[in-house]
Every structure is written in structure tokens, then in C-alpha cells.
Structure 1
Amino acid sequence: MTAITSTAYSRDLGDELRRLREKHSGLTGAAFAEQLGWDPSKVSNIEKGKARASEIDLVQYFMMCGRDTDQFETFRARYRHAFDTYVALVPDNLRTLAMAEAQAERITCYDVLSVPGLIQTPEYARALLSGGRGTPEQIERGYRSRMERQAIMKRPYRPECVFYVHELALRLQVGDERVMEEQYLRMLFHTHVLRVVPMSAGPAAIRMSARMLFRFEKLVPVAYSETDLARVFAHDGAAIADSREFFKWLDSIALDEGQSRDVLTSCISGLRKDLHEPQAELA
């Protein structure tokens, strides 16, 4: 077992091992360690993603849980990258992201084309996901996951959050007018943590991909970015420093709370005007 700086992915996979132990052995961490002849701290550190388990450690762990060779090999292939400074995961892997959000002390987020997932209304989220190429099952799974992740926003001691949203995301209609109005109202409720990046800021902000920066109380920060091909978690010092500079730059070009509220109010007024204006009859 090798002690090393934990990553978002190592903590996710460590938690997967913990759930495996609890489900298939029924033993506490201390009792499990005793059966393996390990120090209890070894089980704890591996399950918290604080230490890399050797291949022999993993074999022993899986055999104690009654798992077969195929299951071990599948896990080992993923675990090989657990402590990499850059990890790219498939788009439908949401566990690592959800765990990072749940553990974070501060979350800073930027999106260009859609409202950040943590403050989306259910109707907006479903309409957004339904507009993609996923199967009905994938859409439903993504929708449920997004709604469940929002639970952190209701906690008494929730993360300190700042959401930078480009004006393009506000202007892009998702669903019908009622869906958009409810989403604007939700964001108005969150204007204390929301900053609009205006179109007048120029093309530079539009070219940047969606990203997040997670800060933890006792863990190394994590920079995160995503595309339709992969979710990327970066723990490298240069990536963290770049993300900090990026959000400092966004702070300098984004509207303040009052100005952001004005933009949202304007969006709502425009929608209501369109809804109540009589439609022109075709000749």
C-alpha cells in the first residue's frame, strides 16, 4: 500500500470498495481488516482514497468479499488510473462528480450554453437532457442524478457557491416559454451566488468550455471540465492555478449581483410580453 495525495477519482473508487465490503461481507472496517491480517488504518485509508492499494491488496480485498476474477479485473482496470493527476471519464459516469460536489467547501462554476446543473429546475433539466441523443433510459438516469445532486444546495452547511452563467445560456430557449420563465425565477432566487457574463464581454468567454473548481477543507483542490466526450478531473498544480486565474478573469468581466438581476428580470419581461401578445394571423 502506497500513501499518496488523494484524487476525486481515488475517493470515488475507495467509496466503491467500502460499499462492496458492507454489502458482501457484512463486516465493519476493523473486523474486515482483522480477517485479512491488516491494520485497520489500511482498510480506512484505501476506502477513503488516501492510499493506493497494491494489486495483491485488491485481490485479497475482492476475495474476502466473495467476488470473482472478472469483477476484480474490471475494477483493477479502472483503479489503475485512480491517482492520475488528470483523469478522463466517460460522460455517463456521474458518481465522481457528485462526490466532489458533496465533499466541497466551495464550488465555482462556469457554463456558456446552459444553466449550471445545480440550479436547474426539474422541467429545464428534463427538456435539456431530452434534446440530446441519449436513449430514454439514459435521459431518465441523467435527470434523476441531476436532481439528486441538487440536495447539497439544501443542506444547512452547504458549499459556498458562485455560478458564472454566460448570457448566451439565458437567451438559448430550452423547452417552452413556461419552462424558461420558471428557470429565470429560480435564478433570480439565487442571484446572491450568480453572476451573468454579458455578450458585451466579447468572444473570449464564449470560446471557453464549461468548467468547475472545487475547494475542500483538507483535500487538494480539483479542476473539472466536461464535453460530450469526457469528464476531466485535474489535480495538477498548473491546472488548479490556471482555473483560479480563469475565474479571477471572469470575475472582472461579469456583471455584479444587481446587474445580473436586471438581466434576468429583462428576460422574464420579454417572455411575458411574447406570451400575451396576440399572434399575427397568416394571410
Structure 2
Amino acid sequence: MTAITSTAYSRDLGDELRRLRENCTSFGGRAMAAQLGWDPSKVSNIETGKARASEIDLAQYLATCGKDLDYLLDFTSRYRHAFDLYFAQVPTNLRTLAMVEAMATKMYVYEILAIPGLLQTEAYARAMFLETGHESLDDIAGFVALRMERQAIWRRPYRPECVFFVHELALRMRIGDAKIMEDQYLRLLFNAHIVRIIPASAVGLALQSMITLFEFGKASPLAYTESDLAKVFAQDTSAVTATRKLISRLDAVALDEEQSRSVLAAYVSGLGEDPHDRRADLA
């Protein structure tokens, strides 16, 4: 077992091991350690992603959980990249992202053409999946449900400190009908204390990629971005530094809380002005 800086993926896979132990054995952490002949701290550090398990460690652990060779080979293949400072996942894998959001103490989120997922209404999320045309109708309900489940962080007594930078282009991008957009604007208004609008005139910032910076109580900061092809997590110092610089630029250009609130209220009022054009006027 090797002590090393933990990553979002190492914590995710460590938690997967913990769940296996709890679901497939009757052992608590100390009993599992005794069964394996390990120090109790070794089980704890592996399950929290604070230390890299060797292939022999994984074989012993998974065998105790009743898993076969095929399971071991699959998990070992994934675990090989657990401590990489850059790693990518398929876009449908939400487990690591949800865990990162749940553990974060601070989040700085920047979106350009869509409302951030953690602030989307259910109807907006559904309409967005329909608009993209990438998912089958059978899958959309599941993806929407998962997005709503991620929003459970707002119901917790200790919520992360958040700032959502939303480019005005996302407000102009009409998703669904006027009722869907009205409800979405009102959701943003309700959360105006954590929403900062980037004016449409900030064209240079519209050319950036969407990005999120996560900060944690004890773990290292993490930068995150995504596309239709992959979700990318970067814990490398240069990536985090570049993300902090972008956030500083956003903070300098963004409207303050009251200004953002006024812009959002104007979008609610303006919905009745052109009821036939549901597409964004990006001119």
C-alpha cells in the first residue's frame, strides 16, 4: 500500500470498495482488517482513497467480498488510473461527479450556453435532453432523474459555498416553451444570491469552455469540464491555477447580485414580447 495524494477518482473507487464490503460481507472496517491480517488504518485509507492498494491488496480484498477473477480484472483496470491527476470518464458516468459535488466545501461554476445542472428545473433539464437529440426517449427520464438527485446537496444542513457564473447567452438560449423558461428564470431569481450573470457583451468569455472549480476541506482542489465525449477531472497544479485565473476574470466582469437579479427579472418580463420565437436571438 502506497500513501499518495488522493484524487476524486481514488475516493470514488475507494468508496466503491467500502460499499462492496458493507453489501457483500458482515465485516465492519476493523473486522475486515482482522480478516485480511491488515492494520485497521490500511482498510480506512484504501476505502477513503488516501492510499493506493497494490494488486495483491485488491485481490485479497475483493476475494473476501466474494468477487471472482473477472470482477478483479475489471476493477484493477479501472483502479490503475485512480490516482492520475488528469482522468476522463464517459459522459454517462455520473458517480464521480456526484461524489465530488457532495464532498465539496466550495464550488465555482461557469456555464455559457446552458443553465448549470445544479440549478436546472426538471422541465428545463428534460427539454434540454430532447433538444440535443443525443439520447433516446427511454433514457431521458433516467438522466433527468439523476440530475435532480444531484440537487439533493441543497437540502443538506451543510451546503457547499457556491458561485454560479452564467453567461447571458444561456439566458437567451430558449429551451422548451415560454413556461419552461419562465420557471427556469424564476429558479435563478430565487437563487440570485449565488448567481452572477456574465453580460452578453463579454464575447471573449463566451469562447471559453465551461468549467468548475471544486474546493474541499482537506483534499486538493479539482478542476472539472465536460463535453459530449467525456467528463474530465484535473487535479494538476497548472490546471487548477489556470481555472483560478479564469474565475478571477469572471468575477471582474460579472454583474453583482442586484444587477444579476434585475437582468433575470427582465428576462421573465420579456417572455411575452415574442411568443412565437423560441430560439435564441444571439445577434
User: After the TM superposition, which residues 228-243 of structure 1 pair with which residues of structure 2 at under 5 Å, given as runs?
Assistant: 228-243=228-243
Counterpart secondary structure, 1:239? helix
Q: Give the Å deviation of 1:25.
A: 1.1
CA distance in 2, matches of 1:197, 1:240: 21
Aligned length: 275
CA distance in 2, matches of 1:85, 1:271: 45
CA distance in 1, matches of 2:4, 2:146: 30
User: After the TM superposition, which residues 48-197 of structure 1 pair with which residues of structure 2 at under 5 Å, given as runs?
Assistant: 48-132=48-132, 133-197=134-198
Counterpart secondary structure, 1:14? helix
RMSD after superposition: 1.2
Overall identity of the aligned pairs, in %: 58
CA distance in 1, matches of 2:53, 2:140: 35
- CA 1:12 to 1:137, structure 2 compared with 1: closer, same or farther past 3 Å? farther
Counterpart secondary structure, 1:192? helix
Cα deviation 1:202-251 (Å, max 9, x = unaligned): 2x111111110001111101100111111111111111111111100011
CA distance in 2, matches of 1:140, 1:242: 36
CA distance in 1, matches of 2:89, 2:274: 42
Counterpart secondary structure, 1:199? coil
CA distance in 1, matches of 2:259, 2:218: 35
Equivalent residue, structure 1, for 2:14: 14
Unmatched segments (≥5 aa) in structure 1: 277-283
CA distance in 1, matches of 2:142, 2:183: 23
Q: Which amino acid aligns with 2:187?
A: R
Equivalent residue, structure 1, for 2:246: 246
CA distance in 2, matches of 1:136, 1:75: 31
Q: Which amino acid aligns with 2:181?
A: M
Unmatched segments (≥5 aa) in structure 2: 277-283
CA distance in 2, matches of 1:274, 1:26: 63
Counterpart secondary structure, 2:271? helix
Q: Which amino acid aligns with 2:174?
A: Q
Q: Give the Å deviation of 1:131.
A: 2.2
Cα deviation 1:32-70 (Å, max 9, x = unaligned): 111111111111100000000000000001110111111
Q: Give the Å deviation of 1:154.
A: 2.0
CA distance in 1, matches of 2:71, 2:32: 19
Q: Give the Å deviation of 1:275.
A: 5.0
Cα deviation 1:254-279 (Å, max 9, x = unaligned): 11111111111111111134459xxx
Equivalent residue, structure 2, for 1:281: none
Q: Give the Å deviation of 1:141.
A: 2.4
Q: Which amino acid aligns with 2:253?
A: I
TM-score by length of 1: 0.95
Counterpart secondary structure, 1:12? helix
Q: Give the Å deviation of 1:71.
A: 0.8
Q: Which amino acid aligns with 1:198?
A: P
CA distance in 1, matches of 2:233, 2:180: 32
